[in-house]
Amino acid sequence: MAGGGEETSMDKVMRDGGVVALIVEKLRSAHDRYAAALVCRLWHDAVVWQATTLTLRSRDSLPHLVRTFKHIVALDLSCCDEQLTNSELEFCAFSFAHLRSLSVGQADLNQDSISDEGILAFAERCGHLEQIKLANLPKVGDAAMQGLSKGCPLLRCLNLHNCIAMADDSLEAICEFSNLEELQLKGEFKFTAGGLEKIGTHCTGLVKVCFDLGATKIDTALRSLAESCPKLQDLSLKFKHANLRELAKCRSLRSFSVESDQAWDRELNLDESVVAIAKANKNLKEFSFLIKGGLLSDGAVTGIILACPLLETLQLEACNLTDTALMCIVSCKSLQHLVLDGLRSGGHGLTEIGQCGLGLTTFALKNARRVKDVELQTLMDGNRGLETLDLQSCQGPSGIGFSAIALCSNLQYLDLSSTDVDDLSLLAIASGVPNLKQLNLVKCKRINSMETIARFTSLEVLNVDQCSFVENQGLGRVAASCPRLNNLSLAFTRVNDEGLQKLTVCSMLRTLRVSYCRFVLGEGVVAIAKACGGFNHVVLSYRFRDTPTHKALKEQSCRVSLEMDDMALVPFGYNLMM
């Protein structure tokens, strides 16, 4: 109330539940919602009721969260680095009756205590599930998938990752989902080629498919998808060996991505297969082809571009390409995203791309060679609307060439890792790119001071792994100048706990990586967890396992990931640097 007893407009807002609900509805960032919840009980309740997704980070908090968030429709258990049990999953299934989306398990931790019984609880009680993701559940097998196929008839999206107990019976159960539109199978399973073939035959409504199954043969599965799935638009493949020719029978693709770290079998005639797929799918908008040793020729790239006039994204392992192919890319007027990894510049093609006025928003020359300053300058001048630029390990440009990046004032993401960028060129970039959100400078040896980095005041993500210029005082200046910083990686640096203490002013910090930092003993990390309300993930060296630091971070509901290093077997507290 005002001094005279009159109610101000702010007072009215503070107590009007409808107005508060409308304000909270407009809040997009987790940080803003967290701050709003601290205003008063009314605002707290408004934030709670607007929530649709619950992410569990600690088992201990589950009973309290259930009482508060019974209404949520999405449950994410993938951020919990503790071993969940079947009884806890049963408790969740009983408590959250309105679930539409469920995620159990994370990419870097096996959940060894969860079996079919825990997943079946959701099949029995959450019949409206539309999206399910199961990752690294070694004891969850065919019975769970069979139960889900019967109890969740509305399922549209299924993502399975490293469920090694699942075999062909699980694939048969997947075939029972009549509404299935998206399917991702990644990692190790007991699937056979014959079992995978049934997916395309029975799941004819599939729109998006991702197969990343290692050495498992997928040739027959690809044929069944091409022949039986007329709505298939998005196909992503990662494999050791496969014959892609059968995919030329597909006519509906909009996005096609292929990746393999194995040398390509020359007898399979890669160029011919890829061009045939492009000609059969003339409405392709995204084409990504990153195969080790399976290098497309100039003729194949030309064929793809001529066959697909609507192409917006082109990603290539470009070691084998010459200026002839680059000249053809110039004619692709709808192109917005161009990646030419491993390109060996011939001196003219990149210049032509810069001069033709494509207006790219994404460009990458990762691991490129022989790139000249004038080529990089022309590329930047001709694509001033760039939002993403990846020049990791791009060899050839000097500080003069890198300074031209300052022309791209809309840049949001920049990767200059393992390049010859220096302090002066970085200063030039900072002056011309005021809204840069992510900066990667891993292993940059020509930068001498963090003062330069502090000029990027809009940074949200910063990676300075393996950088000798990282030191405590500089870290303090970055912390003071970059209030939006939420993700910071300092692995393999000389930073210590005193330097980490300076990060406590970064109220929006969420994730920190300080693995392989020998001078970090843990006090600084714990201080950050206590000072930064939204801090929820830290990556440490394995030597911190079961230490007081590890336990203190868990008490702060902070997810801890551990990475092996050369001190993993050294007793904690013993300093090899002394």
For 412-428, the pLDDT digits (tens) are: 999 999 999 999 999 99
List, for residues 203-232, the tens digit of each pLDDT value: 999 999 999 998 898 999 999 999 999 999
Q: 142-151 and 116-125 helices cross at what angle (nearest 10)?
A: 0
Which of the listed residues 191, 223, 246 is the one where a domain comes to its end? 191
pLDDT for residue 15 is more than 80 = no
Query: Does any domain span residue 200?
Result: no
If you ran DSSP here, which 8-state letter would residue 563 be given? E
**Which candidate, 521, 512, 510, places its Cα nearest to that of 544?**
521
Answer yes or no: is pLDDT of 49 > 90.
no
> Tell me, what's the pLDDT at 570?
39
CA of 37: how far to CAs of 225, 226, 397, in Å?
Answer: 48, 50, 49
pLDDT of residue 235: 97
Pair (566, 540) in one structural domain: yes
Which pLDDT does position 575 carry in this prediction? Answer: 39
Q: Of 61-65, 352-356, 545-549, which gets the smallest average pLDDT?
A: 61-65
Instruction: Provide the number of structural domains found in the chain.
Output: 5
Say yes or no: 442 and 323 in one domain. yes
Average pLDDT over residues 92-105: 94
Cα–Cα distance, 206 to 199 (Å, whole number): 9
452 located within any domain: no
Please indicate, yes or no, whether residues 417 and 478 belong to a single structural domain of this protein: no
Check whether 4 has a pLDDT greater than 70: no
Structural domain includes residue 533 = yes
Mean pLDDT of 100-116: 93
Chain segment 452-467, per-residue pLDDT in tens: 999 999 999 999 999 9
343 and 396 share one domain? yes
In a domain, residue 393? The reply is yes
Is the alpha carbon torsion for 341, 343, 347, 349 positive or negative? negative
Both 78 and 142 in one domain: the answer is yes
Burial (CB < 10 A; 0-12, 13-18, 19+), residue 140, is buried
Question: Which is more confident, 80 or 253?
Answer: 253
Give the tens place of pLDDT for each residue, 166-212.
999 999 999 999 999 999 999 999 999 999 999 999 999 999 999 99
Residues 65 and 180 placed together within one structural domain of the fold:
yes
Domain boundary among 130, 165, 191: 191
Asked if the structure places residue 514 within a domain, the reply is: yes
Task: Return d(Cα 483, Cα 486) in angstroms, integer.
Answer: 9
Q: For residue 372, which amino acid is it?
A: K
Percent of the chain clearing pLDDT 70 (strictly above): 88
Average pLDDT over residues 134-143: 97
Residues 413 and 530 in one domain: no
Distance CA 36, CA 209 (A): 40
Give the structural domain span for 365. 318-447
Provide the residue type at 564 as one letter. M
pLDDT beyond 60 at 162: yes
Distances (CA, A) of 159 to 55, 56, 181, 206: 18, 19, 11, 13
Length of the chain: 578
- Residue 51's pLDDT is 74
Residues 106 and 176 in one domain: yes
pLDDT (0 to 100) of residue 131 = 98
Tally Cβ neighbours within 10 Å of residue 373.
Answer: 16
SS3 call for 54: strand
Query: What stretches of 162-218 adopt beta strand conformation (E)?
Result: 182-186, 208-212
Other Cβ atoms closer than 10 A to 360:
21
Summarised one tens digit per residue, pLDDT across range 497-515 is: 999 999 999 999 999 999 9
Report which of 548, 549, 544 is spatially closest to residue 570, judged by C-alpha positions: 544
Q: Is the pLDDT of residue 574 over 50?
A: no
Residue 32 lies in a domain: yes
Look at residue 196 and tell me if it is in a domain. no
What are 116's two structure tokens?
A: 């079919």
Q: How confident is the model at residue 9, as a pLDDT?
A: 59
Q: Is 118 helix (H, G, I), strand (E, B) or coil?
A: helix
CA 14 to chain centre: 38
Confidence of residue 7 (pLDDT cuts 50, 70, 90): low
Q: Which residues of 191-200 are buried (b: 16+ CB within 10 A; e: fewer)?
A: beeebbbbbb
Query: Same domain for 299 and 373?
Result: no
Is the sign of the CA dihedral 139, 143, 149, 151 positive or negative? Answer: negative
- CATH (domain of 169): 3.80.10.10
The mean per-residue pLDDT over the stretch 487-491 comes to 96
| 411 lies in some domain | yes
End-to-end CA distance of the chain: 62
525 neighbors 548 (Cβ within 8 angstroms): no
Q: How confident is the model at residue 577 (pLDDT cuts 50, 70, 90)?
A: very low
* Residue 529, H or E segment: helix 523-531
